[in-house]
Chains A and B, each alone.
Chain A
């Protein structure tokens, strides 16, 4: 059996407790600071007592919705990241890097390009696109010489994303009408999303997690190798397929809600493994807390760096994520999961 806590620095309960505290603090800060004139002190007044109308408006109509959306998107991307890494046994696997997010956003761009404009349609389309991206990952990972080399799998994903981005740009060039709508599906953001984005993305994220929960045990066994997992009574192929379906639902939901946000799925499992060791039964809980923490942290920075303007959140997550990617690749042996 897997030794619980092998390579862990913290006990699971200790790590979970720290993550909860960090997440709560970030939620609080996310309500307190912004790019506008309503500073932390005014916000605190508005939160504690009645405060002034402007501050109350900014907190309840602008900061609260984006904070809640950040929580849902963070949970979805954090969960998707850690499961995708387990299912592909690749520490570089990340929905953004492997082309799953690109599949989701491309599907939406294609739908808009073909004339669809209903926002509700986007969720289904994005999940289908993410599913197509996941199936491609599954196919590529079966190719001898590519599947067992983490870096090559990422290269395949980069090529796939590159093709989809090129076609998206082509649609953008040809279709002036949807240019404004499509731009969002290339950058991604938490601010200014329609109010119902939260309402339909929450069940989407919950559904994805429900699909994944029964698969955590089999995925953990998969880490011992296909033969061992089969010997323990699991079905590796079925487990992989189920896991990637769950990942597709999560990534599709997150993309439909906030556009493509890269690197969260890479950073979260990386930090989670450092905290509690490589076993997915231990990392999954921590990841579901770390995901929203990193999203909120990036979102807070995106409001503060270029005040009174804002940066797209994807820029910040890339700044955080790229060094992690380099660190993982540069470490002499890439740990196989």
Chain B
């Protein structure tokens, strides 16, 4: 009696092990289990995720750019919907919180199989999210090369080849555009505010792109090593944001109107970039918020190309 039970049990475990082995082998054939190095250690993923939740604009940008259809994302900063430049590309998507706060219940309800989180996610938040699905928190901050996180999200999505190719395309486009730009011109990116503009750090993603295009940042933008943007600069010091080009980032839909309002400020209209008609109003949601994916890059390159070719 005892013996038979033992034999039966042994046979069962043997079969289970066999089934397990076959199962793992078939999975491995579909897509190899891959390990992604995140801020909270290595995360192992298998297969191509189908229910992705992107908890930052950048993650959403990357996911959309490789053709994934995320099921959930967060509202853009200061708004209650997806950023306008991504809106028509995402299709049906659920808003699961804001850039500052994620609604865990909404994330859970979506039954995700992968969560792409922003780099600064707090540990307690990570612990909760990672119980829902594998959660990818990048190590690199927004002050490091923008490509690092694009590649990381791409690897997590199982689309390394696609992100690699899109980075290559971008690099080629930059090289082509660079040929039309006189090197060494000073380009300044500021968040416009009538009481005084906030200077955007030259080390963020837009600054990195402009540098690669051959532009030089202003000294004040270069000094912002760890702050994304400065406090409002005194209008008396407006000459410090002056240069060959001035990209005026506003959240107003009508950027041209914001530029007109700015021109009414005498300290602004006497800037060299402004008097030489090289002040351009650009979309603040892409130029001075959290965006930094391949789709945002292309919008920025479009803006620069338009400005340069208008000369």
Interface, chain A (partner B; CB < 8 A): 34-38, 57-58, 61-63, 172-174, 176-181, 183-184, 189, 191-195, 303, 306-312
Interface size in chain B (residues, C-beta < 8 A): 29
Near A by CB (< 8 A), chain B positions 216-260 give 230-237, 240, 250-254, 258
Majority secondary structure, A binding face: loop
Residues of chain A within 8 A (CB-CB) of B233 are 308-310
* A-side contacts of B80, CB under 8 Å: 173-174
Q: A259 — nearest CB in chain B belongs to which residue?
A: B195
**CB-based nearest B residue for A61:** B266
A36 and B195 contact, CB distance less than 8 A: no
A36-B237 contact in complex given A61-B266, A192-B194, A192-B195, C-beta closer than 8 Å: yes
Q: Apart from A180-B258, A191-B235, A303-B234, what are 4 other A-B pairs with CB-CB below 8 Å?
A: A176-B79, A176-B285, A308-B233, A309-B234
Q: How would you classify the secondary structure of chain B's contact residues: helix, strand, loop or mixed?
A: loop
Tell which of A183, A306, A310 has the most Cβ of chain B within 10 Å: A310
Give, as a whole number of angstroms, the nearest-CB distance from A32 to chain B: 12
Chain B residues in contact with chain A, CB under 8 A? 78-80, 192-196, 230-237, 240, 250-254, 258, 264-267, 270, 285
Q: How far is the CA of A303 from the CA of B232 in the complex (A)?
A: 11
Instruction: Determine the chain A residues whose CB is within 8 A of the CB of B235 once the complex forms.
Output: 62, 191-192
Known: A194-B264, A309-B196. A180 touches B250 (CB 8 A): yes
**In the complex, what residue of chain A is closest to B253 when comparing beta carbons?**
A177
In the complex where A192-B196, A308-B240 touch, is A34 in contact with B264 (Cβ < 8 A)? Answer: no
> Known contacts A62-B267, A179-B78, A192-B265; is A310 also within 8 Å of B232 by CB?
yes
Q: Within the assembled complex, what's the spacing in Å between the Cα atoms of A132 and B179? A: 61
Q: How far is the CB of B291 from chain A (nearest CB, A)?
A: 14
User: Is the beta-carbon distance between A310 and B266 smaller than 8 angstroms?
Assistant: no
Q: How far is the CA of A235 from the CA of B232 in the complex (A)?
A: 50
CA distance A63 to B267 in the complex (A): 11
Complex alpha-carbon distance, A300 and B45, angstroms = 59
B267 nearest CB neighbor, chain A only: A62
Contact A178/B267 with A36-B236, A62-B235, A173-B78 known, Cβ cut-off 8 Å: no
Max count, chain B CB within 10 A of own CB: residue among A36, A181, A303: A36
Q: Are A191 and B250 in contact (CB under 8 A)?
A: no
A113, B236: Cα distance in complex, Å:
31
Q: Return the contact of B195 from the options A58, A173, A191, A306 (Cβ within 8 A).
A: A191
Task: Give Cα distance in the complex from A35 to B240, angstroms.
Answer: 12
Contacting pair A173 B252 (CB below 8 A): no
CA distance A172 to B80 in the complex (A): 10
Q: Which 9 A-B pairs have the closest CB atoms?
A: A36-B236, A35-B234, A309-B231, A189-B195, A308-B237, A192-B194, A192-B195, A61-B266, A310-B234
- Are A34's CB and B236's CB within 8 A? yes
Can you sample 26 A-B contacts with CB below 8 Å?
Answer: A34-B234, A36-B234, A57-B266, A57-B270, A62-B236, A62-B266, A173-B80, A176-B285, A177-B251, A178-B252, A179-B251, A179-B252, A180-B192, A184-B194, A184-B195, A189-B195, A191-B195, A191-B196, A192-B235, A195-B264, A303-B234, A303-B236, A308-B237, A309-B234, A310-B233, A312-B195
Whether A180 lies near B251 (C-beta < 8 A) is yes
- Tell whether, in the assembled complex, residue A308 and residue B264 are in contact, meaning their CB atoms are under 8 Å apart: no
Across the interface, A309 reaches (CB within 8 A) one of B78, B232, B266, B267, namely B232
Question: What's the Cα separation between A84 and B105 when bound, in Å?
Answer: 50
A307 vs chain B, min Cβ distance (A): 7
Q: Which residues of A contact B79 (CB under 8 A)?
A: 173, 176
For residue A310, which residue of chain B has the nearest CB? Answer: B234
Q: In whole angstroms, how far apart are the Cα atoms of A58 and B270 in the complex? A: 12
Q: Given A36-B234, A57-B270, A309-B231: A180 and B78 within 8 A (CB)?
A: no
Cα distance A189–B285 in the bound complex, in angstroms: 25
- Chain A residues positioned under 8 Å from B237 (CB to CB): 35-37, 308
Tell me which residues across on chain B come within 8 A of A172, comparing CB atoms.
78
- Of the candidates B80, B240, B252, B258, the one having the most CB atoms from chain A within 10 angstroms of its own CB is B252
**A residues near B240, Cβ cutoff 8 Å:** 308
Residues of B with C-beta under 8 A to A63: 236
A306 neighbours in B (Cβ, 8 Å): 231
Which residue of chain A has the shortest Cβ distance to B270 in the bound complex? A57
Contacts of B234 in A (CB 8 A): 34-36, 191, 303, 307-310
Which of the listed residues A34, A57, A179, A192 has the most CB atoms from chain B within 10 Å of its own CB? A192
A262 to B112, CA, bound (A): 48
Asked if B196 and A310 sit within 8 Å, CB to CB, the answer is yes
